[in-house]
């Protein structure tokens, strides 16, 4: 809450801020749908509206991806926002992209282990090691209703897609961790997204 903050906000900005949704949290009553299978989107216009809400929320809180269940909408859509930073980044410049009704068609046997966090797990303050495939093939629909099949060969890009896709199937990254790795969970209190509220 910002009761003591005096800010003059234009009407259009106020509307934008009001549509930002604090991501639902695992372990709370509002976060129960994080553990449910999401439903199909029946109208493309519905997917576009969800995309707009996801974008505003991700822009506000930060991160590289966000799925509809995280903002309280149990529908099969997520977004990814990947942009390389610095000269030496090998991250592909995907930009902001919507995935409606995504379907993972295949993954590599080769995996990599990397720390993951989540806007819906302790407000993005807890990180744990998760093994994910290096490569995947995905089919999805874009915001114009066109179907695509992409092959993702960058391990971090694949990780982000698989993390967000898990949300559509009722899973969070903690459920992908090996039991023995829980002793190495680490806490980053300074990253608490509630500081942005």
3-state secondary structure of 35: helix
Structure tokens at 78: 């997520």
How many Å apart are CA 24 and CA 34, to the nearest integer?
8
For residue 16, the SS3 value is helix
Residue 82 near residue 99 (C-beta atoms within 8 A): no
CA distance linking residue 63 with residue 167, whole number of Å: 15
> What contacts 75, CB < 8 A, 6 or more positions away?
38, 39, 40, 41, 46, 47, 50, 68, 69
Is 164 a catalytic site residue?
A: yes
**What are the residues whose beta carbons fall under 8 Å from the beta carbon of 71, sequence distance 6 or more?**
21, 23, 24, 53, 54, 57
Q: Which of 85, 116, 129, 164 is catalytic?
A: 164
Catalytically active residues are: 164
């Amino acid at each position: 809450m910002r009761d003591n903050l005096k800010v003059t906000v234009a009407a259009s900005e106020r509307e934008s801020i009001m549509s930002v949704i604090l991501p639902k949290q695992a372990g709370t009553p509002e976060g129960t749908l994080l553990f449910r299978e999401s439903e199909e989107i029946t109208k493309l216009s519905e997917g576009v509206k969800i995309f707009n809400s996801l974008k505003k929320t991700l822009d506000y809180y930060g991160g590289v991806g966000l799925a509809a269940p995280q903002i309280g909408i149990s529908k099969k859509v997520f977004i990814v926002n990947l942009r390389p930073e610095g000269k030496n980044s090998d991250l592909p410049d995907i930009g902001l992209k919507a995935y409606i009704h995504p379907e993972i068609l295949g993954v590599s046997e080769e995996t990599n282990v990397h720390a993951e966090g989540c806007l819906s797990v302790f407000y993005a303050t807890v990180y744990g090691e998760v093994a994910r495939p290096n490569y995947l093939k995905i089919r999805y629909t874009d915001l114009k209703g066109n179907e695509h099949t992409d092959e993702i060969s960058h391990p971090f890009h694949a990780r982000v897609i698989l993390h967000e896709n898990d949300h559509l199937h009722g899973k969070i990254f903690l459920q992908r961790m090996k039991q023995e790795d829980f002793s190495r969970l680490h806490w980053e209190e300074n990253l608490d997204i509630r500081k942005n509220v």
